[in-house]
Amino acid sequence: MNNTIKDSSTDKYFKVAIGIICAFMLIIVLYPLYFVVMASFSNPSAVANGEVWLLPKGITMLGYKEIFQDSRIWTGITNTLIYTIGGTLASLLFTIPAGYALSRYDFRARKILTFFFVFTMFFNGGLIPTYLTVKGFGLTNSIWVMIIPFSVNVFNLIITRVFFQTTIPHELLESAKLDGCSDFQFFVKVALPLSKVIIAVMMLYYSVQYWNEYMKALIYLNDDKLFPLQLILREILVMNQAFSSGGQGVSLGDITVQQKADLIKYGVIIVSSLPMILFFPFIQKYFEKGVLIGSLKG
């Protein structure tokens, strides 16, 4: 006996309409990114004339050549990798245990501590007091200023706390204690192995945050040997834009100074975004699970 329920004609039309809308939204979101990739490889004259739509035209590597010829790029990549890896590890080291502690109902101070954490999401001391505090600890113009002072994101902490509350049952802790398990042993041997999803999600959030960070470097770093990639790319972009403004109409062979600056601009976008785009697929399944858990049980 076939119990399959067939869709009515109205349902079919509705699904087709939803599919068309989703496809249209996907094109709207992806095409600008696709265009930037095509423009970074295309002759800037063709891009300026609106001739680049689906495929690159007059393929050239001039933009990437100009970017990677700057020796500061490799210093920036090295620094950013250090900040991203070190900062992500430090953030996980603080966020995961803190989220677990705040999720425990037998932790009496959890409500007042949660209040103080959430309070900082709406109110803070401002830039100048924060700068003076960081300077007072002797962290300015050092690697540590990019890793330690801002290592905990309160929003991520709340997500972690909700995950532990909704995923690790209290009865599991009670049964573990009956077997002689301490709180620390329970966290390390039981809670952490069951928390791969939230660890992967936090790793993604924090790694993207540290990779894209340039405002902290702009404020707290003076030594260009410590600049992250984003700040180096910003300087290259600003320098070329300033050069193009002073050389409007000046020709460099087949292209003008302004067109060369535009080509470098597209290349800078790709160089700064590509590593995170390549990293995301490896933890995508954990990211999707984490988002679903937060939306259904948070």
Give this prediction's pTM: 0.78
Q: Which of 80, 213, 91, 103 is nearest to 154 (CA)?
A: 91
Does 76 lie in the same domain as 36? no
Does 97 lie in the same domain as 36? no
The pLDDT score that the predictor gives to residue 201 is 86
Structure-block tokens of residue 295: 């939306």
Does 194 lie in the same domain as 53? no
* Predicted confidence band of residue 1 (pLDDT cuts 50, 70, 90): very low
Domain that holds residue 11: 1-60
Does 293 lie in the same domain as 151? yes
d(CA 199, CA 90): 13
Does 220 lie in the same domain as 92? yes
pLDDT digits 0-9 by tens, 39-80: 888 888 888 787 888 888 888 888 888 888 878 888 888 999
Of 18-32, 111-125, 172-186, 248-262, least confident by mean pLDDT is 248-262
Beta bridge partners of 251: 256
**31 part of a folded domain:** yes
d(CA 194, CA 100): 12
Does 124 lie in the same domain as 16? no
How many structural domains comprise the chain?
2
DSSP 33-87: HHHHHHHHHS-HHHHHTT--SSS-SS---HHHHHHHHSTHHHHHHHHHHHHHHHH
Alpha helices by DSSP H, listed for the chain, are 9-41, 44-48, 62-69, 72-103, 110-122, 127-136, 154-167, 170-178, 183-186, 196-212, 215-220, 229-246, 257-279, 284-297
Residue-averaged pLDDT of the chain: 82
Q: Which of 152, 154, 136, 156 is nearest to 220 (CA)?
A: 136
Of 102-111, 113-122, 139-148, 255-264, least confident by mean pLDDT is 255-264
